[in-house]
Protein backbone atom coordinates (compact mmCIF):
# COMPACT_ATOMS: atom_id res chain seq x y z
CA UNK A 1 0.00 0.00 0.00
CA UNK A 2 1.26 3.48 -0.89
CA UNK A 3 2.06 5.78 2.05
CA UNK A 4 -0.35 8.26 0.46
CA UNK A 5 -3.17 5.70 0.82
CA UNK A 6 -2.43 5.44 4.54
CA UNK A 7 -3.11 9.15 4.96
CA UNK A 8 0.31 9.76 6.51
CA UNK A 9 1.15 12.65 4.15
CA UNK A 10 -0.32 16.13 3.79
CA UNK A 11 -0.46 17.96 0.47
CA UNK A 12 0.57 21.45 -0.58
CA UNK A 13 -0.19 22.76 -4.07
CA UNK A 14 2.20 25.03 -5.97
CA UNK A 15 0.98 27.56 -8.54
CA UNK A 16 3.91 28.90 -10.53
CA UNK A 17 4.02 32.62 -11.26
CA UNK A 18 6.59 34.85 -12.93
CA UNK A 19 9.53 34.82 -10.46
CA UNK A 20 7.37 33.25 -7.74
CA UNK A 21 5.53 30.21 -6.38
CA UNK A 22 2.24 30.45 -4.51
CA UNK A 23 1.87 27.57 -2.04
CA UNK A 24 -1.65 26.63 -0.92
CA UNK A 25 -3.62 23.77 0.59
CA UNK A 26 -5.52 21.73 -2.01
CA UNK A 27 -9.05 22.77 -2.89
CA UNK A 28 -10.79 25.74 -4.50
CA UNK A 29 -10.45 29.26 -3.08
CA UNK A 30 -7.81 28.37 -0.52
CA UNK A 31 -5.56 31.12 0.81
CA UNK A 32 -1.86 31.25 -0.01
CA UNK A 33 0.12 29.85 2.92
CA UNK A 34 3.62 30.60 1.61
CA UNK A 35 4.90 32.87 -1.12
CA UNK A 36 8.26 31.85 -2.59
CA UNK A 37 10.10 34.69 -4.27
CA UNK A 38 12.53 33.71 -7.04
CA UNK A 39 15.49 35.85 -8.14
CA UNK A 40 18.09 35.00 -10.77
CA UNK A 41 21.22 36.58 -9.35
CA UNK A 42 24.97 36.07 -9.20
CA UNK A 43 25.33 38.47 -6.29
CA UNK A 44 26.68 36.81 -3.14
CA UNK A 45 24.53 39.07 -0.98
CA UNK A 46 21.22 38.15 -2.66
CA UNK A 47 19.26 34.89 -2.55
CA UNK A 48 17.72 32.84 -5.34
CA UNK A 49 14.71 31.83 -3.26
CA UNK A 50 13.04 33.48 -0.27
CA UNK A 51 10.06 31.78 1.38
CA UNK A 52 7.62 34.24 2.95
CA UNK A 53 4.72 33.57 5.27
CA UNK A 54 1.47 34.61 3.61
CA UNK A 55 0.56 35.64 0.10
CA UNK A 56 3.24 38.14 -0.90
CA UNK A 57 6.90 39.05 -0.56
CA UNK A 58 5.85 41.50 2.12
CA UNK A 59 5.38 38.56 4.52
CA UNK A 60 7.92 37.46 7.14
CA UNK A 61 10.91 35.62 5.63
CA UNK A 62 11.01 32.04 6.96
CA UNK A 63 13.96 30.78 4.92
CA UNK A 64 16.23 31.37 1.94
CA UNK A 65 18.19 29.38 -0.64
CA UNK A 66 21.30 30.41 -2.56
CA UNK A 67 22.30 28.53 -5.70
CA UNK A 68 25.93 27.57 -6.34
CA UNK A 69 27.65 25.66 -9.13
CA UNK A 70 27.70 22.46 -7.05
CA UNK A 71 24.50 22.86 -5.08
CA UNK A 72 22.69 25.20 -2.69
CA UNK A 73 23.04 26.87 0.69
CA UNK A 74 19.81 26.94 2.67
CA UNK A 75 19.16 29.36 5.52
CA UNK A 76 16.38 28.83 8.07
CA UNK A 77 15.07 32.20 9.19
CA UNK A 78 15.56 35.74 7.92
CA UNK A 79 19.22 36.62 7.18
CA UNK A 80 18.37 40.30 7.74
CA UNK A 81 17.74 39.44 11.38
CA UNK A 82 21.38 38.46 11.92
CA UNK A 83 22.21 42.16 12.04
CA UNK A 84 20.05 42.33 15.17
CA UNK A 85 21.77 39.26 16.63
CA UNK A 86 19.03 36.76 15.71
CA UNK A 87 20.53 33.36 14.94
CA UNK A 88 19.92 31.71 11.56
CA UNK A 89 20.59 28.03 10.81
CA UNK A 90 22.60 27.43 7.61
CA UNK A 91 22.52 24.10 5.77
CA UNK A 92 24.57 23.10 2.74
CA UNK A 93 23.12 21.04 -0.11
CA UNK A 94 26.34 20.08 -1.86
CA UNK A 95 24.80 17.87 -4.55
CA UNK A 96 21.14 17.78 -5.52
CA UNK A 97 21.16 13.96 -5.52
CA UNK A 98 22.59 13.38 -2.04
CA UNK A 99 23.54 15.51 0.91
CA UNK A 100 24.02 15.34 4.66
CA UNK A 101 22.38 17.45 7.34
CA UNK A 102 24.97 18.48 9.92
CA UNK A 103 23.95 18.41 13.55
CA UNK A 104 24.61 16.41 16.68
CA UNK A 105 23.85 13.36 14.58
CA UNK A 106 24.40 13.28 10.80
CA UNK A 107 21.41 12.41 8.61
CA UNK A 108 21.73 11.60 4.93
CA UNK A 109 19.05 12.89 2.56
CA UNK A 110 18.69 11.38 -0.88
CA UNK A 111 16.82 12.95 -3.80
CA UNK A 112 15.45 10.77 -6.60
CA UNK A 113 14.19 12.57 -9.69
CA UNK A 114 12.02 11.34 -12.55
CA UNK A 115 12.19 13.29 -15.81
CA UNK A 116 10.39 13.12 -19.14
CA UNK A 117 11.95 12.48 -22.54
CA UNK A 118 12.81 16.17 -22.91
CA UNK A 119 14.49 16.25 -19.50
CA UNK A 120 11.65 18.11 -17.78
CA UNK A 121 11.15 17.24 -14.11
CA UNK A 122 8.04 15.08 -13.58
CA UNK A 123 8.41 13.91 -9.99
CA UNK A 124 10.94 13.78 -7.18
CA UNK A 125 11.32 11.95 -3.87
CA UNK A 126 13.20 13.13 -0.79
CA UNK A 127 14.27 10.32 1.53
CA UNK A 128 16.10 10.29 4.86
CA UNK A 129 18.84 7.67 5.05
CA UNK A 130 19.80 5.10 2.47
CA UNK A 131 21.22 5.49 -1.00
CA UNK A 132 19.89 2.32 -2.61
CA UNK A 133 16.73 2.21 -4.69
CA UNK A 134 14.29 1.31 -1.92
CA UNK A 135 16.25 2.40 1.16
CA UNK A 136 15.46 5.37 3.34
CA UNK A 137 12.29 6.84 4.76
CA UNK A 138 10.17 8.81 2.29
CA UNK A 139 9.64 12.26 3.83
CA UNK A 140 8.38 14.16 0.77
CA UNK A 141 7.33 13.64 -2.83
CA UNK A 142 6.83 16.23 -5.56
CA UNK A 143 4.46 15.44 -8.46
CA UNK A 144 4.29 17.90 -11.35
CA UNK A 145 0.82 18.75 -12.71
CA UNK A 146 1.63 20.68 -15.89
CA UNK A 147 3.46 19.84 -19.11
CA UNK A 148 4.24 23.52 -19.61
CA UNK A 149 5.10 24.87 -16.19
CA UNK A 150 7.43 22.85 -13.96
CA UNK A 151 6.53 25.12 -11.03
CA UNK A 152 2.99 23.71 -10.93
CA UNK A 153 2.40 20.56 -8.92
CA UNK A 154 1.77 18.98 -5.53
CA UNK A 155 4.22 18.45 -2.69
CA UNK A 156 3.28 15.57 -0.37
CA UNK A 157 5.05 15.85 3.00
CA UNK A 158 5.09 13.19 5.72
CA UNK A 159 3.11 14.08 8.83
CA UNK A 160 6.17 13.06 10.84
CA UNK A 161 8.06 15.97 9.25
CA UNK A 162 5.47 18.45 10.51
CA UNK A 163 5.88 16.99 14.01
CA UNK A 164 9.66 16.74 13.71
CA UNK A 165 9.43 13.01 14.37
CA UNK A 166 10.90 11.18 11.39
CA UNK A 167 12.65 7.91 12.22
CA UNK A 168 16.12 9.48 12.33
CA UNK A 169 16.46 11.83 15.29
CA UNK A 170 15.81 15.46 14.44
CA UNK A 171 19.11 17.27 14.87
CA UNK A 172 17.79 20.80 14.52
CA UNK A 173 17.79 23.17 17.46
CA UNK A 174 15.22 22.38 20.11
CA UNK A 175 12.00 24.36 19.99
CA UNK A 176 12.23 25.17 16.26
CA UNK A 177 9.23 23.05 15.30
CA UNK A 178 8.96 23.96 11.64
CA UNK A 179 12.69 23.92 10.76
CA UNK A 180 12.54 20.43 9.26
CA UNK A 181 9.52 21.46 7.22
CA UNK A 182 11.39 24.49 5.90
CA UNK A 183 14.36 22.28 4.91
CA UNK A 184 11.98 20.06 2.93
CA UNK A 185 10.24 23.02 1.26
CA UNK A 186 13.43 24.90 0.40
CA UNK A 187 15.20 21.76 -0.84
CA UNK A 188 12.28 20.80 -3.06
CA UNK A 189 11.76 24.22 -4.61
CA UNK A 190 15.49 24.93 -4.97
CA UNK A 191 15.80 21.78 -7.08
CA UNK A 192 12.65 22.65 -9.08
CA UNK A 193 13.95 26.18 -9.68
CA UNK A 194 17.29 24.74 -10.81
CA UNK A 195 15.48 22.52 -13.32
CA UNK A 196 13.35 25.46 -14.55
CA UNK A 197 16.44 27.58 -15.17
CA UNK A 198 18.25 24.70 -16.84
CA UNK A 199 15.32 24.28 -19.25
CA UNK A 200 15.68 27.92 -20.31
CA UNK A 201 19.30 27.39 -21.33
Domains along the chain with CATH numbers? 9-200 (3.20.90)
List strands edge to edge, sheet with 98-101: 89-93, 71-76, 61-68, 49-53, 32-38, 20-24, 9-17, 153-158, 137-144, 121-128, 107-115, 98-101
Alpha helices, H only, the chain = 159-162, 179-200
pLDDT tens by residue, the chain, 201 residues: 354 545 599 999 999 998 999 999 999 889 999 999 999 877 777 899 999 999 999 999 999 998 877 778 888 889 887 766 677 888 776 554 444 444 444 456 677 888 887 778 889 888 876 655 556 788 899 999 988 899 999 999 998 887 765 544 444 443 344 678 888 899 899 989 988 888 876
φ, ψ of residue 93 in degrees (nearest 5): -105, 95
Cα 191 from chain centre:
8
Amino acid sequence: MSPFEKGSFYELVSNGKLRAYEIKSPGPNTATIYYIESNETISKSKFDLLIHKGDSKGGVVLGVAKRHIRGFTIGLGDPAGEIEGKQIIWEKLERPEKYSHKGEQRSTYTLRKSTGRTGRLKSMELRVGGVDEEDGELVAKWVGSSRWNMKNGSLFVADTVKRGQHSEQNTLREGDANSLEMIVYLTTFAVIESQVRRSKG
